[in-house]
Structure 1
Amino acid sequence: MASSFNVESADGYERLMGRWSKRLAPGFIDFAGLADGESVLDVGCGTGSLTFALAGRPGLKSITAIDFSPVFVEAVTQRNTDPRITIQQADACALPFEDDSFDRALSLLVLHFVPEAGKAVAEMRRVVRPGGVVAAAVWDHYGGMSGMRMVWDTVAMIDASARAMRHRYSFQPMMRPGEMKASFVENGLADIEETSLTIRMDYSSFDDFWAPIAAGEGPLGKYVAGLDAYTRTRVDTAVREAYEAGEPDGPRSFASVAWACRGKVVA
């Protein structure tokens, strides 16, 4: 399974998205549900936002975290101090676990970066016991990520090549309303519920907002890193103007919405 997410460093990802994943994780856990004594699989753990939020629930029996990126696996391994947590590199579309191995399989902000996302849903269902739960959440890039859409819409007015990239960003797998639910149905899950979860992404300044992108993190960062010097200057200036919106540089807050879906595994 290739991932369409560009990772330069764990610290850079943490500044770009990990800090917001942490903010989203508690609401996602509440939606997905947990029970004491359960074994939970975190599919696509990144820098551990969901993994360590789960570790805050003392009643869980075990937490298994996997990620395709060795950068993330190393980062989570170095941070971990909880003996209930195990971490390994693995493919979400070919999970290295036996059938019925877990009570729940959760995936936070991952499936939209998996080109064959339906296979990942099928694998999550396979490794969860009958009566267990599969749940996932993805950003709504088209209608729910106001800060990032601000950037993509700005650069698309400057650079024609950014328009196709904006389209790919806005319509990645599982992002359209009902798309994740349809995949859960197709893969045999029952009692399916889809909802949206909202957080605020709060930045102290333009540099706080732009620095990880300017350093090449994520899909937008990969695009920015590939620009020639002239276009890069134009983009940096235009995005700063969009961020500031006629006011002095300083704190800004952007609403960010994720689609979330859960379903029950039936025998």
Structure 2
Amino acid sequence: MARASQHDAWQAGDNYDRYMGRWSRQVAPRFLDWLHPARGLDWVDVGCGTGALSAAIVAGYDPKSLIGLDPSEGFLEKARLNVPDPRVEFRVGDAQMLAMPSQAADIVVSGLMLNFVPRREEALREMARVARPGGRVAFYVWDYPSGGVEFMRAFWTIAVDLDPAAQDLTENRRFPFCTRDNLAHLARQSGLAEVEDEEIEIATRFENFDDFWRPFTLGTGPAPAYCANLPADRRRKLREKLKANLPYADDGSIPFKARAWAVRGRAVE
């Protein structure tokens, strides 16, 4: 197993929510505002994680049905708690081979997942297969190559300064394709029609240093897994250097921003 894969560690739903879930819950409604779907439709949420996007769909768009798929049972357990709605079903599933009939949904979406799929074009083709002809297929991922998730970039900048080998674990090194143009091109290559893209930016404000640091110690996600597996003395040095170098506001909070790229298209017959 590659070193980067060893550090992904996507299993503990509670820990993911503390690390990225709170920001996922902010970007999901913005994505749906842009998608502007009708109410009462059949949805599939591929790579649903702990249910941030599914929850936003239920809250704002009154789905007829929603099926959330994710390979992590730990995430699905959290999603079922987060989205306790009888119209919603969460199942274990692989984005590259969806165990669903063709033309089963009006809209097939994916949030902050596609970069972790080895065969991304295959996953998008599967999403298009499950969509009804003319139905929407849409996704979004963080802008990793440009350091669009600023708090991640701050963490890795210090981590790499202390441990140059950590450079290979950084998201910008691992996911260089996550640019606006590349993602739109990927959607077209996967057979989607009427492809459009959009920038979504949110504020990611931490109340204080502990609010910033604690999620990195919990082990869920590439940076937290790296941090949690460091020897105690190296983790202490990383903590001290981060604490001394983060951009604090006058009230002690730590203001960052995060940018995602969203892409939408239509399935064809």
TM category (shorter chain) comes to over 0.9
- What TM-score, normalized by structure 2, do the two folds share? 0.92
Unmatched segments (≥5 aa) in structure 2: none
Which residue in the other structure is 1:96 paired with?
Answer: 99
Please list, as runs of the form range in 1=range in 2, the aligned pairs for 1:187-266 lying within 5 A after superposition. 187-244=190-247, 250-266=252-268
Distance 1:161 1:69 in 2: 28
CA contact (8 A) 1:111 1:174 kept: no
Q: Report SS of the residue matched to 1:36.
A: coil
Distance 2:250 2:138 in 1: 41
Deviations 1:36-73 (A, max 9, x none): 23101111111111111111135421111111100011
- 222-231 or 101-110, which deviates more: 222-231
Distance 2:172 2:228 in 1: 16
Which residue in the other structure is 1:17 paired with?
Answer: 20
- 169-178 or 182-191, which deviates more: 169-178
Question: C-alpha displacement at 1:176, in angstroms?
Answer: 2.4
Distance 2:191 2:216 in 1: 39
Deviations 1:93-115 (A, max 9, x none): 11111111101101011111212
CA contact (8 A) 1:4 1:114 kept: no
- What TM-score, normalized by structure 1, do the two folds share? 0.92
1:59–1:151 distance in 2 versus 1, CA, 3 Å = closer
Distance 1:106 1:195 in 2: 15
For residue 63 of structure 2, the aligned residue among 60, 63, 68 is 60
Q: Does 1:142 align with 2:166?
A: no
Question: C-alpha displacement at 1:89, in angstroms?
Answer: 0.7
Question: C-alpha displacement at 1:248, in angstroms?
Answer: 7.5
CA contact (8 A) 1:4 1:113 kept: no
Distance 1:249 1:12 in 2: 26
Distance 1:117 1:258 in 2: 17
For residue 158 of structure 1, the aligned residue among 154, 157, 162 is 162
Question: C-alpha displacement at 1:121, in angstroms?
Answer: 0.8
1:217–1:242 distance in 2 versus 1, CA, 3 Å = farther
Q: Report SS of the residue matched to 2:180.
A: coil
Which residue in the other structure is 2:179 paired with?
Answer: 176
Distance 1:191 1:234 in 2: 50
Question: C-alpha displacement at 1:169, in angstroms?
Answer: 4.2
CA contact (8 A) 2:180 2:197 kept: no
CA contact (8 A) 2:38 2:61 kept: no
Question: C-alpha displacement at 1:24, in angstroms?
Answer: 0.5
CA contact (8 A) 2:100 2:130 kept: yes
Question: C-alpha displacement at 1:3, in angstroms?
Answer: 10
Question: C-alpha displacement at 1:32, in angstroms?
Answer: 2.2
- 32-41 or 106-115, which deviates more: 32-41
Question: C-alpha displacement at 1:128, in angstroms?
Answer: 0.3
Q: Report SS of the residue matched to 2:246.
A: helix
1:203–1:49 distance in 2 versus 1, CA, 3 Å = same
Distance 1:96 1:262 in 2: 22
1:8–1:40 distance in 2 versus 1, CA, 3 Å = closer
Deviations 1:162-192 (A, max 9, x none): 12222x5444164123111111111111110
Identity among equivalent positions (%) equals: 34
Structure 1 residue ranges, 4+ long, deviating more than 3 angstroms after superposition? 2-5, 168-171
